[in-house]
A and B are shown apart, each in its own frame.
Chain A
Amino acid sequence: MAEVRLRDVEKSYGHTRVLDNLSLDIQHGEVYFLLGPSGCGKTTLLRGIAGFAPFDAGTLHFGDRDMTSWQPQRRPTAMVFQNYALWPHMTVAANVEFGLKTRKVAAKERRRRVAEALALVRLGDLAKRKPAQLSGGQQQRVALARALVVQPECLLLDEPLSNLDAKLRQEMRIEIRRIVKEHDLTALCVTHDQDEALSMADRMAVMFEGRIAQCGDPRTLYHKPTSARVARFLGETNLVDGRVKEVAGGAVHLDSPYGPLLSTAADNAGNGPVRKISIRPEAVTLVAQSENDNTIVGEIVDHVFLGHAVRFRVLVSGVELLGQAVETARAAALELGARVQVYIDPEDIVLLEPGTD
C-alpha cells in the first residue's frame, strides 16, 4: 500500500494533447475522484496509471517505486471497467478467480479468497452463474469483486456507476466507499457526475482540457471554487462582476450589479480591482425583514418546485439572481411579480481568481 504520485505527465494522440503537464498526489487510504466533462483526459489518466496508455512524458510512482515503464500486467493496480468487461464464457467465480491464478495463488487459498470477495459484494450465492444471467447492478459488483480480490495497491474505477439506474447508483456509492474504507484501499475514480464525486470523494480534482483546474476536498471545491468553470461544473451558481471598494481585515466591500455586498470569504481580495464573483443559490435565501448588510430587494421572475426546496429567480436592477428556499408555506406562496427580500451570507460570496474563465 502506498500513495500514488504523478509528476508532469503528458499524453498526445496525434496533434491532440490529452494530458498537459499534469501532476497529482493521492494519499494512501484515500478515495480520490477525477471529475471533468467528457474529453477532458480523465479516462486517459486512469488508463495511463493502469499502464494501457503509457504517458509520453512524466513519471508515475507508487510509494518510492517508479512505475512509469512497468507493463500493465505487472502493475499492482486493478481496474473496474465502465462496461465491467466481465468475461462472458466464465462463471462469476471464474471471473473473480482469474487474477489469483495469474498470481499463482494456491487452489485452496484461491477458493477462500473468491468466496470472501463475493461475500463482500453480497453475491456469494451467485458464484456459479454466467455474467449474462446477472442484472446490471450484480455485474457491477462482480467487476468490483474481481478487482478487490487481488488486493490491489490502487483500485481504479472508470465511471463505475454510469450504467446503473438512479436508485442502484445511490446504493453502490455507499457500498463502494464502505468496501474501500474497510479494506484500507486506495481508490481513484473517474466520473463526469458531480453528485457522485461530491458524495463519495475524500478529495477530488476537477479537470479541463488535460489539466487539473482545482483539487481539494469536495466542500472546498464546492464552496470555494477558484474559477468560474469549476464553480459552474460543480453546480448552479450566480456569476457576476464585482469591484473591490475596500478591504478591511477579513472583510471585503464590493460593488456589484446587485448593489453593495460584503464578503468575508475572500482571502485573495488584493488581486485586482474588478473580479468575478460566484454566489451559490443556496446562499441566497428569502428573509422577512432587512438585515444590515447584503439584503437585496427584487422581483420574482421565475420559480421551480424541486421537492425538498424551491429555486427562484429574482430580478435585481435588471440582473437575475438565482436563489433557493426551503419548501415552507412562505416559499409555496411565492408569486411571479412579487417583491421579496433576499439575504446573502457574506461567507458565501466567493471572489474568483482573475484571468480564469
Chain B
Amino acid sequence: MAKTQITAEPGIPQIIMTCEFDAPRDLVYRAYTEPELLQQWLGPREYTMTVKENDVRDGGKWRFVHSDGGGHEHGFHGVFHGNPSPEGIVRTFEYEGAPGHVSLETLTLTERAGKTLVRTVSSFQAVEDRDAMIASGMERGVHDSDERLTELLARLQAG
C-alpha cells in the first residue's frame, strides 16, 4: 500500500520524498509526533527505536535513538521551527555520527478523500552531506539490482 517516491537529483543537496497513507491527516500527524506511535513505525523492523525527547513546539528539541540489539546505536536529533501542526512540520535533523552536518526537513501533510499525502523535503548544506548522511546513518545490506539500474537509466534518459 505505502509506496514511497524518493527523488535525489544529482548535484542538488536535497532529497524529496512523498508517500500516501490511507488515513485522515490528524491521525497521520499523531503517528508522526506521539512518541508511543513513532516508536512503532520509524526505522527498520530489526531496530528498536526509542524517543528520548520530543518537545513538539517552536524551539522544542527532539532526539531519537535506533538500537540494533547488539550494542550499536544510532542517534538523531534536532529542533522544531515554527509551531508544528497537522498541516506541516519544519525541523532540523542531525545524525550524531556526523555532527555538524545539519539538514532542514519540511514535512507537508495534505488530505484528499480521506487519504493523506506526506511530502518531505530534506535540504542539506552540501551534496556531500546528503551522500555522507545516507552512507553512514542508514547502513543496511542491500542487494545490487539490475532492475534499479535500468530504472536509473530510464530516469537519466527522461531527464
A and B associate in one complex: no
